[in-house]
Amino acid sequence: MQAVANLMTGGSSGPKYLTGDKSSIDGFIDKFDVFLFDCDGVLWSGDHLFERVPATIQMLRDKGKQLVFVTNNSTKSRADYKKKFDSMGISANEEEVFGSSYSAAVYIARILKLEPPKNKVYVLGESGVEQELQAENVPYCGGTDPLLRREMLPEDFRHVADGSLLDDDVAIVLTGLDYHPSYLKYALGMAYLRRGAKFLATNIDSTLPSAGSLFPGAGSTSAPLIKATGQEPLALGKPSQAMMDAIEGKFQFDRKKACMIGDRLNTDIQFGIEGGLGGTLCVLTGVSKKEEFLEKGAQVVPSAYVDELGDLLG
């Protein structure tokens, strides 16, 4: 049990509260060369930027730290994210952003490496997924195609059943958060899966925090395919270690000198702990509450925590 406890706390004896403790903060930051940031709930909540975030990011840059922004949001591409960083006044470049759509596109293009032309991806999701597939030269269909945002007609049942509405080159079904679900899109996804397509997901978060409440997440909008086929997708966002492997592959760093910063224990902090990072830092501006990791028997415990990211300025 001791080994497990150590694993789950990233090797330390318990979470250290850093807010207001200047020397502990400096010691914590000095331990790491690389910081992986979750975005929503850490840097901002929707369109609301948390205080002192741009200055905190700048402080870390001034100390020469490598920064990577790791997000499960599949609706935005890295280019979309760059625009959001700019609008928030946070210095970042596109290469530093690692989204679940990008993670999925990299996995498909560089790990699965299916032979063309039988390498097409049927997308249940938004343009973020499409843009990242395009950037990796992976062919796709579905997605934001307006022809699929229509009513299921009686003849569609026949044409899905006899395969005439299906694309013979589809070998993968990839689901992300889809703001435009339709019965036709689900019927097509189900037909491809029943025909043997691989089932991937950018992420399977059940909820999406927005406007101070919770909405259906990517795991919920893809749930009809899971229920209808009895198959579970391979999820490529946090906490999947496929995403950590892809990040390490791209940025080449020593995991022991890297720290994951996030607001969700069961995605961000678990992602860092399972990835064997040197540390994890929980901020209390998002989903998880400190009671969840301070209580006895807590399953996922960060190495340290602060009230908000700006507290790292001391």
Contacts of 29 (CB under 8 A, 6+ apart): 60, 63, 65, 312
Q: Does residue 61 touch a second copy according to CB under 8 A?
A: no
Q: Which residues in 40-59 contact a second copy (CB under 8 A)? A: 46
Residues marked as catalytic: 33
Which range binds a second copy by CB under 8 A, 68-76, 211-219, 243-251, 306-314?
Answer: 211-219
Q: Pairing mode, if any, of strands 120-124 and 198-201?
A: unpaired
Q: Does residue 199 touch a second copy according to CB under 8 A?
A: no
Report DSSP letters for 62-94, one per residue.
HTT-EEEEEE---SS-HHHHHHHHHHHT----G
Asked if residue 170 lies in contact with residue 197, where contact means CB atoms within 8 angstroms, the answer is yes
Backbone phi and psi for residue 79, each to the nearest 5 degrees, phi listed first = -65, -40
CA distances from 262 to 40, 165, 268 (A): 9, 43, 5
Residue from 118, 214, 255, 295 touching a second copy (CB under 8 A): that is: 214
**Joined tokens for residue 209:** 């925090």
Asked if residue 233 lies in contact with residue 204, where contact means CB atoms within 8 angstroms, the answer is yes
Q: Does residue 212 touch a second copy according to CB under 8 A?
A: yes
142 SS3 class: strand
266 SS3 class: helix
174 or 193: CB nearest a second copy: 193
Which range binds a second copy by CB under 8 A, 66-74, 136-144, 203-211, 282-290?
Answer: 203-211
First and final C-alpha spacing in the chain:
35
Backbone phi and psi for residue 275, each to the nearest 5 degrees, phi listed first = -80, 0
Q: Which residues in 274-313 contact a second copy (CB under 8 A)? A: none
Which of 277, 120, 267, 127 lies closest to 203 in space, CA to CA?
A: 267
Q: Which residues in 218-277 contact a second copy (CB under 8 A)? A: 219-221, 223-228, 230
Quick note: the x/- pattern for a second copy over 135-154, rule CB under 8 A, is: ----------------xx--
224 or 310: CB nearest a second copy: 224
Residue 132 Cβ, how far from a second copy at the closest point, in Å? 21
Residue 12 Cβ, how far from a second copy at the closest point, in Å? 31
Residue 166 Cβ, how far from a second copy at the closest point, in Å? 11
Q: How many residues bind a second copy (CB under 8 A)?
A: 39
Q: Does residue 181 touch a second copy according to CB under 8 A?
A: yes
217 or 275: CB nearest a second copy: 217
Footprint of a second copy on this chain (CB under 8 A)?
A: 46, 151-152, 157-158, 160-162, 178-183, 186-187, 190-191, 194, 206-207, 210-217, 219-221, 223-228, 230
